[in-house]
């Protein structure tokens, strides 16, 4: 039997009606007796309809939502008697439960199975006491509760059984295979029709991954599904394939892929950002993303990915210590306004997110960095470039700069040159800092500023070695 079969139990006298969509919530206890009862009912009804002999094993996971009753979407483990007594396969059951009084039977439903048309008469509702008895005198079953599929498949053709949706792990693995195929087929002579079909499937997969991570208009993301997807995504080089294959995707799929990569940088598995560990072992991917600013078609996508990746301090440190950091002075001067602005926003993020890392970088690269900043940005002949550089003097950037500067001041092992510069410019620094205030009242900021003012006031000049 196909392990991807899905139980769609159309057991209501409004079987063809669409239900209003609600929000799915994870079932915290899948061993709850009532949840187990629903799972057993699904397997039992499937066996009767399909003349199968599946044996219920357990409810693996599930979600529920309230829609004029309760909708259940369960993954149930069953034994089909083929793989051995201890083996099981996962099936999905979508069930609607509603307690009500008995009502007359409605006309028969029809389902084509294996080329043979079968007639099924289905009871509509039963008692609220929970017995799963069947009335042998009637062709219809008497059920412990009324069940109907949710509106998740409202757009599908009518029928009792549909293919089981892929798990997040399956989805990532299939997407990885399609990305490898796409990369190979891009340089081969495969028929256009076959390649087009595979690329369309790849686009759907990436869109489905995005829906799992972001949710959609009908449902919020499910934490367990996000965790499974994230873990599989970083288990192998799927992130690398997303980045390197981006140029061969169509525009909409590039957007989806960019959102997927960005979201995955924030996903936690067991309270840990596993993207950080992956990138630490694959820092060369930052080289690809930075050079992406030189590709007009890819720059904005790679820029968005890059900004999310430097959320991880180890990644930002790598970029700051590489020769790539100097490229941003050129990217900010590009003729394409959108790319230049994106590069400026990325450079700002790189220089303000991780304060201690930036402080070390500026300490070690002060001379060339500020020389390039002045000559290439502040003194640029390009008006837009000068405007972008001047914008860095805005209040928000001043506040960010203060948080970097306070680390210089707090460092008890400051080089003598730095100390003497502070002493020489003490009055200017004290006046500038006294006037610096955030837009909103911030007690922590004021406490930090007071400490910095005291430190600068107490500095004494040092003798250079």
Q: How far apart are CA 20 and CA 345, in angstroms?
A: 43
Give the domain-ending residue among 163, 196, 230: 163
Q: Judge whether 254 and 301 are in contact, CB under 8 Å.
A: yes
6 pLDDT higher than 60: no
Give the domain-ending residue among 163, 197, 215: 163
pLDDT bucket at 50, cuts 50 / 70 / 90: confident
Model pLDDT, residue 163: 47
pLDDT bucket at 86, cuts 50 / 70 / 90: low
Say which range, 14-23, 32-41, 171-180, 357-366, has the weakest mean pLDDT: 14-23
Q: What's the burial of 191, exposed, middle or buried (CB within 10 Å: 0-12/13-18/19+)?
A: exposed
Residue where the block lists tokens 């040159």: 417
Q: Judge whether 430 and 453 are in contact, CB under 8 Å.
A: yes
237 pLDDT higher than 70: yes
The CATH number of the domain where 57 resides is what? 3.10.450.10
> What total number of domains does the chain contain?
2
Model pLDDT, residue 395: 57
Give per-residue pLDDT as tens, 342-378: 998 898 889 888 888 888 888 888 788 878 877 776 6
Model pLDDT, residue 135: 34
Give the list of residues 6+ apart from residue 152 with CB closer than 8 angstroms, or none: 21, 73, 94, 218
Query: Which of 189 and 74 is assigned the larger pLDDT?
Result: 74
Say if 404 falls within a structural domain: yes
Residues found in the chain: 465
Say if 288 falls within a structural domain: no
Q: Give the rounded percent of residues in the chain with a pLDDT score beyond 70.
A: 71
Q: How far apart are CA 55 and CA 40, in angstroms?
A: 9
Residue 107 sits at φ, ψ, to 5 deg, of -60, 160
Q: How far apart are CA 23 and CA 21, in angstroms?
A: 7
134 pLDDT higher than 50: no
Model pLDDT, residue 370: 78
Give the list of residues 6+ apart from residue 304 with CB closer than 8 angstroms, or none: 258, 262
Model pLDDT, residue 20: 42
374: number of Cβ within 10 Å: 12
Give per-residue pLDDT as tens, 426-439: 888 888 788 777 77
Q: 410 lies in which domain range?
A: 399-465
Q: Judge whether 247 and 270 are in contact, CB under 8 Å.
A: no
Query: Which of 465 and 307 is assigned the larger pLDDT?
Result: 307
Model pLDDT, residue 136: 30
Say if 18 falls within a structural domain: yes
What average pLDDT does the segment 280-299 reach? Answer: 94
Q: How far apart are CA 37 and CA 40, in angstroms?
A: 5
What average pLDDT does the segment 29-41 reach? Answer: 87
Say if 31 falls within a structural domain: yes
Say if 44 falls within a structural domain: yes
Give the domain-ending residue among 163, 186, 217: 163
Q: How far apart are CA 214 and CA 38, in angstroms?
A: 29
Give per-residue pLDDT as tens, 104-119: 223 222 232 333 333 3
Q: Judge whether 459 and 418 are in contact, CB under 8 Å.
A: no
Query: Which of 296 and 194 is assigned the larger pLDDT?
Result: 296
Say if 456 falls within a structural domain: yes
Q: Judge whether 348 and 397 are in contact, CB under 8 Å.
A: yes
Q: How far apart are CA 77 and CA 56, in angstroms?
A: 7
Say which range, 26-35, 40-49, 223-232, 305-314, has the weakest mean pLDDT: 40-49
Virtual CA dihedral for 286, 292, 294, 296, nearest 10 degrees?
-160
Give the list of residues 6+ apart from residue 139 with CB closer than 8 angstroms, or none: 121
Distances in Å between the Cα of 367 and the Cα atoms of 182, 234, 327, 446 are 46, 39, 17, 30
247 pLDDT higher than 90: yes
Query: Which of 27 and 101 is assigned the larger pLDDT?
Result: 27
Say if 140 falls within a structural domain: yes
| Average pLDDT along the chain | 74
Model pLDDT, residue 263: 95
Say if 94 falls within a structural domain: yes
Give per-residue pLDDT as tens, 174-185: 999 999 988 887
Q: How far apart are CA 316 and CA 314, in angstroms?
A: 6
Helix locations, 332-425, DSSP H: 337-352, 355-372, 383-391, 395-410, 416-424
87 pLDDT higher than 50: yes
Q: Give the rounded percent of residues in the chain with a pLDDT score beyond 90.
A: 29
Say which range, 59-73, 156-170, 364-378, 439-453, has the weakest mean pLDDT: 156-170
What average pLDDT does the segment 203-232 reach? Answer: 91
Say which range, 16-30, 70-84, 261-275, has the weakest mean pLDDT: 16-30
Q: Judge whether 233 and 172 are in contact, CB under 8 Å.
A: yes
Give per-residue pLDDT as tens, 438-457: 777 778 778 888 888 888 88
């Amino acid at each position: 039997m196909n392990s991807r079969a899905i139980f769609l139990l159309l057991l209501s006298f409004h079987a063809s009606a669409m239900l209003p969509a609600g929000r799915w919530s994870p079932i915290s206890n899948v061993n709850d007796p009532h949840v187990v009862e629903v799972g057993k009912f699904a397997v039992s009804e499937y066996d009767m309809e399909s003349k199968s002999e599946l044996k219920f094993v357990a409810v693996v996971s599930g979600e529920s939502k309230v829609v004029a009753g309760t909708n259940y979407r369960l993954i149930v483990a069953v034994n089909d008697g083929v793989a051995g007594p201890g083996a099981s396969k996962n099936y999905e059951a979508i069930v609607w439960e509603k307690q009500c009084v008995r009502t007359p039977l409605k006309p028969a439903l029809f389902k084509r199975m294996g080329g043979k048309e079968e007639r099924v008469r289905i009871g509509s509702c039963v008692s609220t006491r929970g017995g799963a008895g069947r009335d042998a005198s009637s062709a219809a079953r008497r059920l412990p509760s009324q069940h109907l599929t949710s509106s998740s498949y409202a757009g599908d053709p009518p029928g009792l059984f549909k293919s089981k949706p892929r798990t997040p792990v399956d989805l990532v693995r299939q997407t990885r295979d399609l990305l490898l195929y796409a990369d190979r087929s891009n340089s081969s002579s495969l028929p256009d029709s076959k390649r087009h079909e595979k690329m369309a499937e790849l686009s759907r997969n990436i869109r489905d991954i995005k829906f799992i991570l972001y949710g959609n208009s009908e449902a919020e993301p499910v934490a367990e599904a996000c965790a499974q997807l994230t873990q599989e995504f970083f288990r192998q080089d799927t992130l690398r394939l997303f980045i390197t294959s981006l140029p061969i995707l169509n525009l909409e799929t590039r957007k989806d892929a960019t959102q997927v990569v960005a979201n995955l940088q924030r996903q936690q598995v067991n309270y840990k950002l596993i993207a950080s560990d992956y990138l630490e072992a694959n820092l060369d991917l930052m080289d690809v993303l930075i050079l992406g600013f030189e590709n007009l078609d890819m720059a904005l996508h790679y820029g968005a990915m890059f900004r999310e990746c430097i959320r991880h301090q180890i990644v930002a440190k790598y970029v700051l210590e590489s020769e790539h950091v100097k490229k941003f002075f050129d990217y900010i001067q590009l003729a394409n306004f959108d790319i230049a602005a994106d590069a400026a926003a990325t450079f700002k993020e790189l220089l303000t997110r991780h304060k201690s890392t930036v402080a070390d970088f500026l300490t070690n690269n002060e001379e060339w960095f500020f020389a390039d900043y002045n000559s290439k940005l502040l003194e640029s002949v390009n008006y837009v470039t000068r405007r972008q550089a001047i914008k860095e003097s805005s209040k928000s950037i001043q506040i960010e700069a203060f948080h970097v500067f306070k680390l210089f001041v707090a460092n008890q092992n400051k080089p003598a040159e730095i100390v003497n510069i502070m002493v020489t410019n003490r009055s200017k620094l004290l006046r500038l800092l006294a006037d610096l205030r955030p837009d909103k009242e911030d007690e922590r900021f004021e406490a930090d500023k007071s400490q910095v003012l005291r430190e600068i006031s107490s500095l004494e000049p040092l003798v250079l070695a």
